[in-house]
């Protein structure tokens, strides 16, 4: 690979050689302060695919023309709409089609998964999570513990980085699992930490959890569409993710769920049930006894949310065309360029900042989290005034996520120039 250079010519040359460059034209890039923005917050809300409108319009048309008959007469019959997403969603998370279902929203699905996979008893009742987990996940796990009559302070073990460090060491995660092996019920981590961008060693963690007699699940909100995972091969018990971050499926968009086939084929596993999870062939016989349909679909509650799913379908079609492997390859190079530019700035300006995301590409996706030691908020505001959208996290972190589908090397160069101007 060519050595990186912090020059406009280099960035433009990289864009010219990028075989995925045209995908940028398939997205609406927000215009902010009258200028096409440099959008580096696909980790928070991915951009709108231009095709999404037509996918949604199709459903409006079918609703307009068929009313209730759309369940069977629509171009994509609503009764089975969720089926159209499973194969592509499974490809994103390294799963078999049957192991994946798209439904509900992320936190709701996390609860549904914990109903099945966090079933504390007198001896096994502990759950290991990240110390600085996303707030929704913290509230979800605490409320699950309380729901079972447990004190979260005793039931929930939080992993913390060592003094003076920002990311978790694998050895410490594994040691915590080992130390609690007699009382551990579940390990539930964000596969990619939302704050630091750290990717955990999911396969090793899953093995350790299983060896300890516990289940293991991941919240892939920041993993899905960003970092390649192999949920089936890694033997993960369950996972959940949202579709509106790297998967570009719109604010409040639908969510994905993975349940390993080992559990999906076990009708005995306790779950909260609804009619859409019932054996599909008998759903409309309106029988009294719940018989879950096989696989992850057996966790569905309600009939499919056609409109958010139509947007998701538009996005998944783009992912399939681009190829997740290609996207990941570009992502590594693009994020490497961001790292290079930031590092050259720390050497050449008065700015005092530190990248807290791991330097090893295997331990990160596209996001870099930058701890700014002084004037962080002022830098963030300055960038925004220049139509550069990054993300500010209290107390002192700026997250930047160059997304391979629509970000360019030139975006990184211009970000670098703006940071440089601020520092001088
Ligand atoms: C974005 C995110 C959420 C948001 O949850 P919703 O239910 O979609 O509102 C939850 N957990 C993590 C780890 C996230 O990154």
Q: What is the distance in A from the centroid of ligand 1 to the CA of 351?
A: 32
Q: At a CB cut-off of 8 Å and minimum separation 6, what does 228 contact?
A: 94, 324, 325, 328
Supply the residue whose CA is at minimum distance from atom 2 of ligand 1. Answer: 221
Atom nearest to 133 CA in ligand 1: 13
* Predicted confidence band of residue 352 (pLDDT cuts 50, 70, 90): confident
Q: Is the CB of 130 under 6 A from ligand 1?
A: no
CB 241 within 8 A of CB 209: no
Average predicted confidence (pLDDT) for the chain:
96
Asked if the domains at 8-49+323-423 and 82-303 fall in one CATH topology, the answer is no
Tokens of 97: 């089609």
d(CA 50, CA 371): 34
- CATH topology (fold) of 82-303: 3.40.640
| Residue 312, pLDDT score | 98
Q: At the top level of CATH, which class does the domain 8-49+323-423 belong to?
A: alpha beta
Residue 234 DSSP label? T
Give yes or no for residue 2 having a pLDDT over 70: no
| Residue 1, pLDDT score | 54
d(CA 142, CA 139): 5
Of 41, 42, 104, 106, which is best to mutate to test ligand 1, by the most ligand atoms within 8 angstroms of its C-beta?
Answer: 106
Q: Name the maximum alpha-carbon separation found in the chain.
A: 72
Domain ranges of the chain: 8-49+323-423, 82-303
Paired strand residues for 238: 217, 259
d(CA 187, CA 138): 13
Q: Is the CB of 134 under 6 A from ligand 1?
A: yes
pLDDT, tens digit (0-9, with 9 covering 90-100), for 168-204 = 999 999 999 999 999 999 999 999 999 999 999 999 9
pLDDT, tens digit (0-9, with 9 covering 90-100), for 355-407 = 999 999 999 999 999 999 888 999 999 999 999 999 999 999 999 999 999 99
Burial of 140 (0-12, 13-18, 19+ CB in 10 A): buried
């Amino acid at each position: 690979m060519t050595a990186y250079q912090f020059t406009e010519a280099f960035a433009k040359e990289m864009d010219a050689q990028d075989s995925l460059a045209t995908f940028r034209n398939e997205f609406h890039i927000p215009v902010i302060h009258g200028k096409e923005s440099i959008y580096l917050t696909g980790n928070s809300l991915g951009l709108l695919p231009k095709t999404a409108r037509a996918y949604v319009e199709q459903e409006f048309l079918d609703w307009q023309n068929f009313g209730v008959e759309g369940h069977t007469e629509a171009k994509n019959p609503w009764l089975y709409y969720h089926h159209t997403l499973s194969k592509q969603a499974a490809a994103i998370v390294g799963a078999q089609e049957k192991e994946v279902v798209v439904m509900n929203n992320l936190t709701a699905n996390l609860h549904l998964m914990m109903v099945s996979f966090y079933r504390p008893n007198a001896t096994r009742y502990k759950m290991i999570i990240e110390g600085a987990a996303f707030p929704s996940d913290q509230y979800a796990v605490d409320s699950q513990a309380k729901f079972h009559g447990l004190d979260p302070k005793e039931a929930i073990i939080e992993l913390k980085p060592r003094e003076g460090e920002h990311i978790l060491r694998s050895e410490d995660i594994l040691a915590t699992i080992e130390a609690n092996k007699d009382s551990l019920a579940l390990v539930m981590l964000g596969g990619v930490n939302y704050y630091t961008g750290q990717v955990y060693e999911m396969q090793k963690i899953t093995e350790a959890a299983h060896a300890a007699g516990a289940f293991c699940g991941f919240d892939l909100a920041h993993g899905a569409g960003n970092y390649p995972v192999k949920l089936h091969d890694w033997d993960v018990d369950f996972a959940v993710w949202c579709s509106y971050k790297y998967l570009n499926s719109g604010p409040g968009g639908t969510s994905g769920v993975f349940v390993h086939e080992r559990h999906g084929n076990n009708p005995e596993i306790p779950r909260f049930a609804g009619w859409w999870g019932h054996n599909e062939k008998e759903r409309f016989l309106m029988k009294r006894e719940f018989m879950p349909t096989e696989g992850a679909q057996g966790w569905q509650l309600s009939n499919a949310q056609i409109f958010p799913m139509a947007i998701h379908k538009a996005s998944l079609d783009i992912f399939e065309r681009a190829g997740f492997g290609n996207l990941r390859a570009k992502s590594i190079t693009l994020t490497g360029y961001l790292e290079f530019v930031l590092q050259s700035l720390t050497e050449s300006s008065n700015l005092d900042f530190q990248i807290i995301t791991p330097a090893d590409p295997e331990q990160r996706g596209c996001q870099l989290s930058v701890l700014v030691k002084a004037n962080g908020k002022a830098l963030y505001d300055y960038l925004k005034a220049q139509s550069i959208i990054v993300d500010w996290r209290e107390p002192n972190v700026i997250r930047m996520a160059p997304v391979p589908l629509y970000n360019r090397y030139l975006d990184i160069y211009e970000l670098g120039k703006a940071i440089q101007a601020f520092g001088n």
